[in-house]
C-alpha cells in the first residue's frame, strides 16, 4: 500500500508500518469511502456487491477470522471522506500503455483510481476490495469519469474468496495487510486466473520512505526474484517478463521529496503450444 499523502504515489502500503499516513493495508485508492445513503443507485450498487456465496471461490488457506478484514477496512475508510488522491499507480499506468485493452482485474481496488484509469483506456475492469465503502467510492468515481459501464465491483476478502473469470491483466499494487493474508496463495490464484497470454503485474515497496514515523534502514524488502520464486509457478505455463527495482521521485505528507524504490514482478501466462491455456 502507499502513503495517501505521497502525491506521486497514489497508493499506500498498509504493511508499510514505516508510513504513518498509510493504514496498514492498502495503497492508491485502495479500500473505502462513505456511501451516500441519499443516492438510491449507490444503495443498490452496494447491495449488489454482497455476492451469493455460491459464486465465490473458497480459499483453503483461510487465515482471517470471519469478518475481521472487512471490519478493519471499513473502519479505515469510513473514518475519512477520501483516502486516496484518485490517480493511478504509476507503474500500472506505464505497463497498461504497452498492452492492448481487454479484461482487467484490480485486486484491492480501494476507491478506484487504477480501475477508472484502465476503464478510460478501454479496459473492461473488475474492481475487487473487501470494503463496501471503498467499492461505493470506486463506483462513484467511475460514474463521474463516464466509465461506469466499464467498471464492475465485487466485494471479496481475498484471504477467503477470489473472483471467477479469466483476465488479460491482473493488477496487485502494494497488496499487503496488517492482518493475516496468505499473499503467495492469493497471487498464485491470480496467476491461474490469467487468460492465455495475460499479464500479472505485482508492485511492492522496495525501500523505506524517509518521512516514515520509524524509518528503519535495516528493513528487509524481498527481491523481485524472491517474490516470483515464492509463487512456485510452472515454467512451462508462466514466464517472468519483468523482475525489476525501478526508482522514482515521491512526495511526502509535508511536501518533501525523495527517491524511492519499487519492486516489480510481471508474469506472463504462456498459451499452450496447441493453442490451449
The confidence band for 44, taking pLDDT boundaries of 50, 70 and 90, is very low
User: pLDDT tens across 80-117, in order?
Assistant: 777 666 689 999 999 999 999 999 999 999 889 999 99
Domains and CATH numbers, the chain: 40-51+58-269 (3.40.50.150)
Residue 53: per-residue pLDDT: 30
Is pLDDT larger for residue 35 or for residue 174?
174
Q: Measuring CA to CA, which residue among 154, 51, 48, 151 is closest to residue 104?
A: 151
Interior CA angle at 128 toward 125 and 129, to 5°? 150
- Cα atoms in the 13 Å half-sphere on the side-chain side of 54: 0
| Average pLDDT over every residue of 62-70 | 63
For residue 23, name the pLDDT band (cuts at 50, 70, 90).
very low
Task: Provide the pLDDT for residue 163.
Answer: 95
Enclosing H/E stretch for 72: helix 68-78
pLDDT at 36 over 50: no
pLDDT at 57 over 50: no
CA-nearest of 4, 7, 182, 29 to 106 is 29
Alpha helical stretches, state H, 179-271: 183-192, 224-231
Cβ partners under 8 Å of residue 148, min gap 6: 139, 142
CA dist., res. 71 & res. 263, Å (int) = 29
For residue 265, the surrounding DSSP H or E stretch is strand 257-269
Can you spell out the DSSP letters for 214-226?
A: S--TT-----HHH
Number of DSSP helices (H) and strands (E) in the chain, helices first: 7, 10
Please answer whether residues 46 and 153 qualify as being in contact, where contact means their C-beta atoms are separated by less than 8 angstroms: no
Angle at 208 between CA 212 and CA 223, to 5 degrees: 155
Rounded to an integer, what distance in angstroms lies between the CA atom of residue 267 and that of residue 234? 11
Q: Minimum mean pLDDT among 50-54, 122-126, 201-205, 227-231: which range?
A: 50-54
What pLDDT, on a 0 to 100 scale, did the predictor assign at position 104? 98
Q: What is the pLDDT of residues 191-219, one digit of tens each?
A: 999 999 999 999 999 998 887 766 777 88
pLDDT at 55: 35
- Specify the range with the lowest mean pLDDT, choosing from 54-63, 171-180, 189-198: 54-63
Vertex 50 angle, CA 47 and 52, to 5°: 125
pLDDT tens for each residue of 226-247: 999 999 999 999 999 999 999 9
Per-residue pLDDT for 259 more than 90? yes
> ∠210-30-146 over CA atoms, to 5°?
125
User: Does residue 59 surpass a pLDDT of 50?
Assistant: no
What pLDDT score was predicted for residue 15? 36
Phi first, then psi: give them for residue 273, nearest 5 degrees: -50, -30
Q: How confident is the model at residue 20 (pLDDT cuts 50, 70, 90)?
A: very low
First to last CA, the chain: 32
CA angle 75, 81, 82 (to 5 degrees): 90
Amino acid at each position: 500500500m502507499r502513503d495517501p499523502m505521497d502525491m506521486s504515489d497514489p497508493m499506500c502500503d498498509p504493511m508499510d508500518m514505516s508510513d504513518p499516513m498509510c493504514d496498514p493495508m492498502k495503497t492508491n485508492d485502495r479500500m473505502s469511502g462513505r456511501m451516500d445513503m441519499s443516492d438510491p443507485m449507490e444503495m443498490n450498487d452496494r447491495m449488489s456487491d454482497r455476492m451469493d456465496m455460491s459464486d465465490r471461490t473458497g480459499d483453503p488457506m483461510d487465515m482471517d477470522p470471519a469478518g475481521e478484514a472487512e471490519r478493519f477496512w471499513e473502519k479505515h475508510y469510513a473514518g475519512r471522506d477520501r483516502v486516496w488522491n484518485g490517480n493511478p499507480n504509476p507503474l500500472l499506468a506505464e505497463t497498461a500503455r504497452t498492452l492492448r485493452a481487454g479484461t482487467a482485474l484490480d485486486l484491492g481496488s480501494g476507491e478506484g483510481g487504477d480501475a477508472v484509469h484502465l476503464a478510460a483506456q478501454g479496459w473492461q475492469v473488475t474492481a475487487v476490495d473487501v470494503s463496501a465503502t471503498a467499492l461505493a467510492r470506486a463506483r462513484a468515481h467511475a460514474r463521474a469519469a463516464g466509465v461506469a459501464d466499464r467498471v464492475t465491483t465485487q466485494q471479496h476478502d481475498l484471504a477467503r474468496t477470489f473472483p471467477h473469470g479469466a483476465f488479460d491483466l491482473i493488477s496487485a499494487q502494494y497488496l499487503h495487510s496488517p492482518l493475516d493474508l496468505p499473499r503467495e496463495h492469493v497471487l498464485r490464484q491470480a496467476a491461474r486466473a490469467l487468460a492465455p497470454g495475460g499479464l500479472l503485474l505485482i508492485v511492492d515497496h522496495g525501500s523505506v520512505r524517509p518521512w516514515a514515523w520509524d524509518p528503519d534502514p535495516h528493513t528487509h524488502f524481498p527481491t523481485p526474484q524472491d517474490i516470483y520464486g515464492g509463487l512456485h509457478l510452472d515454467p512451462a505455463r508462466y514466464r517472468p517478463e519483468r523482475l525489476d527495482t525501478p526508482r522514482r521521485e515521491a512526495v511526502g505528507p509535508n511536501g518533501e521529496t525523495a527517491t524511492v524504490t519499487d519492486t516489480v514482478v510481471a508474469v506472463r501466462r504462456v498459451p499452450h503450444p496447441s493453442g490451449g491455456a
